[in-house]
Structure 1
Amino acid sequence: MKAILWLRRRLARLRDHESGSAVVEFLGVALVLLIPTVYLIITLGRVQAATFAADGAARDAGRLIAQAESFDQGLADAAVAVELAFADQGMDVDGPSALEVTCQEDPCLSPGAYLHLEVATDVPLPLTPPFLDDALSDTVRVEAEAMTAVDDFRETQ
């Protein structure tokens, strides 16, 4: 009987020492889980925004080249369109270096010809410390392709 009373008193004392620690434990676990989750959401948002920009830039660049007066003028307009598409997503990209155009026929703007466009750039990952540059890649490559047809009834220049 004495042992049971002693055990009850001991458990009551232990319960008193444990009061309030659940809140601290919850906050600790929440921070450990919350910080990586927020970083993952930010990173995926940046990569997805770059993917949307690359896809739209490839399609718009193809349309601009196919409707241009000359191939060189269309290429210049397409490079600006690539820069604008990424600028809309808050990214700075060099349009001429990100855009690659392959022509099916020579000259490129022959009626009925197809243009194959590729837009590619590296997206920097947010909040990567400089000391990890050698161990991990701090960028993600984003690429998009589009195929555009030149109008069959286009007047040849």
Structure 2
Amino acid sequence: MNLRPAPRADPGLSARRSADQGSAVVETVWLGLVLLVPLVYVILAVAEVQSAAYGASAAARSAGRAYVLAPDVASAGERARAAARLSLADHGIVEATTDLTCTGGPCLSPGSSVDVTVTTSVDLPFIPDVLGGARGAVTVRGEHTVPYGRFREDRS
């Protein structure tokens, strides 16, 4: 049986261990902040853009329905734009453009349809103006087509 004496511990090793104690917590916190802050920003930006996309889509649908339910062509455009503004206001969108196009014949004639496009721009959150230039924005469009039935009264 060969018995060897236990190796002697390095006296500097315990000093190095005590110097490193607690640094894992600091490193974890910094790493968490470096990764978590951009992730939260991306989630907020995507939520803003998605909210605007839902608003534009709902506004296009409302405008199309208001157009085909109008009693005449003269009031249909204003009714459609008013319905789009109301729907956009429900989603917190202030500025948008609403384009109305009739296809398949004159507006509000049997067999025709109304194409509605609502376009808005969404500013990205937390981008300060001090960086210079224009603020970052994403353009969102909502499109909807509403047919005017073949067996409906001609209102053109």
Q: Give the TM-score of the pair, scaled to structure 1.
A: 0.84
Greater share of helix: 1
SS of alignment partner, residue 151 of structure 1: coil
Q: Shift of the alpha carbon at 1:133?
A: 4.7
**Corresponding residue for 1:66?**
68
**2-structure distance, mates of 1:124, 1:133:** 15
The answer to whether the 8 A contact 1:105-1:114 is kept is yes
5+ long unaligned stretches in structure 2: 1-6
SS of alignment partner, residue 27 of structure 1: helix
User: How do 1:124-135 residues align onto structure 2 when only pairs under 5 Å count?
Assistant: 124-134=123-133
**Corresponding residue for 2:28?**
26
**1-structure distance, mates of 2:80, 2:17:** 71
RMSD of Structure 2 on Structure 1 (CA):
1.9
**Corresponding residue for 1:51?**
53
**Corresponding residue for 2:119?**
120
**Corresponding residue for 1:143?**
141
SS of alignment partner, residue 44 of structure 1: helix
**1-structure distance, mates of 2:10, 2:89:** 69
Q: Shift of the alpha carbon at 1:90?
A: 2.2
**Corresponding residue for 1:102?**
101
5+ long unaligned stretches in structure 1: none
Q: Give the TM-score of the pair, scaled to structure 2.
A: 0.85
Q: Shift of the alpha carbon at 1:104?
A: 1.6
SS of alignment partner, residue 15 of structure 1: helix
- Is 1:155–2:153 an aligned residue pair? yes
**1-structure distance, mates of 2:108, 2:18:** 83
The answer to whether the 8 A contact 1:116-1:146 is kept is yes
Displaced runs of 4+ in structure 1, greater than 6 A?
A: none
Aligned-residue identity in percent: 36
Which amino acid is 1:123 matched to? V
SS of alignment partner, residue 58 of structure 1: helix
The answer to whether the 8 A contact 1:66-1:151 is kept is no
